Amino acid sequence: MGKYIIRFIIFLLVLGYITGQAAAEENADVPSQSYSDQGEVRMQAMRAATNHYVRAFSCNGKSAWTSNMVSETLGYNWIMNQGWKGYIQQGASGGQTLGVVLNDTKIDFSFTYTVKKNNSANNTSYVKGVQAVLSCLGYDPGPTDGIFGTKTDAAVRAFQRNKGLTVDGIVGQKTYHYLSFASS
């Protein structure tokens, strides 16, 4: 039995050497000069990296649900299962908004997301999400067809004006965020 344990330990050491895993400390392992703040810094980093504040709303914004998720993907899925629209933020409430869900369409801000009139690069699913929410809130964006035309532009501008946003007809992060929780 003892020789099997020794063989196993030798195997692990060889495996570590072959795969390039270092047995010695690297520069990244060296802590700062002050050890007193290490625990709190580590806890803040872990909370920020693994906690997402998530809000889901009914179409008209009258009903709301709140949760904390360990991943962004779980947050988007939770919004789609829980409500009709919503947003996800890094860390706690008030953190950076990572994206929104509008009418079951995930709009992740780490990718191209802006939609506006006469833009051939518009994502039609995003435009449909914007149109559906605007319609639900009582605006008239025209048909929910994914085309950002004159009626959709007028509805976006009216929404922006009513919410005190910059009235430019462009649906960027701030307008998306407001659409994700607005009530009629």
Q: Which tokens belong to 71?
A: 């991943």
11 pLDDT higher than 60: no
pLDDT of residue 95: 85
CA distance linking residue 169 with residue 160, whole number of Å: 8
SS3 90: strand
Cβ contact 74:91 at 8 Å: no
Q: Which tokens belong to 128?
A: 């449909």
CA distance linking residue 130 with residue 86, whole number of Å: 12
Q: Which tokens belong to 140?
A: 């008239």
| Local structure of residue 126 (DSSP, 8 states) | H
| Local structure of residue 27 (DSSP, 8 states) | G
pLDDT of residue 64: 85
Higher pLDDT, 11 or 19: 11
The whole-model pTM stands at 0.72
Sheet holding 52-57, edge to edge: 64-69, 52-57, 85-90, 97-102, 105-108
Alpha carbon 42 to chain centroid, angstroms: 23
**Confidence category of residue 7, pLDDT binned at 50, 70, 90:** low
CA distance linking residue 107 with residue 131, whole number of Å: 14
pLDDT of residue 169: 97
Domains and CATH numbers, the chain: 48-108 (no CATH), 124-181 (1.10.101.10)
Tens-digit pLDDT profile for residues 90-119:
887 888 899 999 998 999 999 889 999 999
Tens-digit pLDDT profile for residues 32-89:
344 344 344 444 444 445 588 898 989 888 888 888 887 888 889 989 998 899 999 8
SS3 73: helix
Tens-digit pLDDT profile for residues 127-179:
999 999 999 999 999 999 999 999 999 999 999 999 999 999 999 999 999 99
Higher pLDDT, 28 or 113: 113
pLDDT of residue 63: 85
